[in-house]
Amino acid sequence: MAYHPSGLLAPIVTPFAADGSVDVRALERLGGELLDAGATGLIALSTTGEPTSLDTAERDEVVAACARVAADRGKALVVGAGTNDTRTTIARHEALAGVPGCVASLAVVPYYVRPSEAAIVAHFQAVAERSPVPLILYNIPYRTGRGLGAGALLELAATPGVCGLKQAVGALDADTLAVLAAKPEDFAVLGGDDAFVFPTMLMGGAGAVAAAAHLHTGRFVAMLDDGAAGRVAEGRSHAEALLPLVQALFAEPNPAVVKAVLHAEGRLPTPDVRMPLAAASEAAVQAARLAFSAAAQGG
């Protein structure tokens, strides 16, 4: 059966133990909490999971742990498998055939090398042809240095083996609206900027990939449900309450503040991120914890 991304796909952080190793038990516990609170699936090795700072064995550990948790609850597992060269991206996708329960990849626009838009389209078409699972494209130009406009995205939306898009362009812009208006029915647009996921849903989005939803997960899920159902007043109430939390969690490079708040709430063993990221500042953590408490009001 083809996979149709929808709802909240949680881009789970990678917890680190005090000795710096990946804490698999904490990862499984956190993944279970996110799914039990209403997330439709987990994304292992998303940007939020710090995949570029994990070695191959650690990447495999993270994917295996997320696969176990998702399988236990009958939820989706998506694995971040894109990188900045096509051969490695294809190899990582082909390896997903051996991951139990993996229903799709998250495949980022190749970064740093700054290929042309036509070359990026060709890259994704080559990957989709070889991948055992469908691709969710990840369009995030502020990280990659290259982005895809509406024309390229719609071309890829019609490509066999491409099932969706995580759109993270810092706005609900004209290109995003054009894709939402003209996409095939079975192509899912997922909000990738946490501040804009509710209006994206109202304009035809299928769901979201939201790092901030590690906190108040149920309220994010309710907001997405309201957006899908066209319940503007109800969803707007959630969106307005969650916006200060989103802004606070992204005040410093992700996922430092998210991890710090999860640790302060007793849900992670440490707040640690790996270099070159730096730990969240005390001021950022205090602001995020205040926003977290405020967002509980009326929730």
Q: Is 183 a catalytic residue?
A: no
Burial (CB < 10 A; 0-12, 13-18, 19+), residue 172, is buried
Residue 21, CB-side half-sphere exposure with 13 Å CA sphere: 6
Q: Count the residues in the chain.
A: 299
The catalytic residue among 138, 142, 183, 259 is 138
Amino acid in the structure at residue 179: V
HSE-up of residue 77 (Cα within 13 Å, Cβ side): 27
Cis preceding-peptide flag for 132 (omega within 30 of 0): no
Question: How many degrees, rounded to 5, is the angle at CA 123 between CA 254 and CA 80?
Answer: 35
Looking at 3, 75, 166, 259, which residue is catalytic? 166
Cα distance between residue 8 and residue 37, in whole Å: 10
Query: Is 138 one of the annotated active-site residues of the chain?
Result: yes
The catalytic residue positions are 138, 166
